[in-house]
Amino acid sequence: MSLPDKAFPVSWDQFHRDARALAWRLAGLKRDFKAIVCITRGGLVPAAIISRELNIRLIETVCVASYHDYVNQGEMMLLKGIAPELTADEGEAVLVIDDLTDTGKTASEVRSILPKAHFACVYAKPQGVPTIDTFVTEVSQDTWIYFPWDMGFTYQEPISKTGRG
């Protein structure tokens, strides 16, 4: 598998706006979340923003690796589980945060541990949408999202390389 042809680069400013938009949607649910479980590594940044916006101070991580080379999704590897006090009631009142749901495999893995948790992502692809509860922006399955923490300052090729007119 190689990188998809469609690119969706996201700046720090845009990501911050989108994460705050997710916080607004979550606030509208009128639920009292007692904790956030962020799926590392992608969930770390949105979890920080959402924890501030929703005033949730208990933040836990679950460490799952699926992209071992940044391109090809491989076997799910649970590197670190979730604290027992958050799994005791199957994740009731727990908010699970990630940056993206792609195929839904990671969310499904975590949902098997926290079946009653509320799952939220900033971005979602169609295959992953059924595995989460709330998201902000949907992108096509054949789009690669370039997150700000994966990019440097470099020239970006235009979408169309042919002149029109």
How confident is the model over 32-47, as pLDDT tens digits? Answer: 999 999 999 999 999 9
By three-state DSSP, how is residue 139 classified?
coil
Q: Flag whether 28 is in a domain.
A: no
Residues annotated within a binding site? 41-42, 98-106, 144-145
Nearest to 93 by CA among 16, 152, 12, 30: 30
Task: Indicate whether 97 belongs to any domain.
Answer: yes
CA–CA separation, 120 vs 58, rounded Å? 17
7 in a structural domain = no
Cα-Cα end-to-end distance for the chain: 36
What CATH number does the domain containing 66 carry? 3.40.50.2020
Question: Could you tell me the residue range of the domain that residue 93 belongs to?
Answer: 34-148
Quick check: is 85 in a domain?
A: yes
Q: State the catalytic residues.
A: 98-99, 102
pLDDT, tens digit, 9 for 90 and up, residues 103-121: 999 999 999 999 999 999 9
23 domain-assigned: no
Residue segments in the chain with a per-residue pLDDT below the cut of 50: 1
Q: Of 17, 10, 22, 50, nearest to 150 (Cα)?
A: 10
Q: Which residues are annotated as a binding site for GMP?
A: 102-106, 144-145
Residue 77 lies in a domain: yes
Domain count for the chain? 1
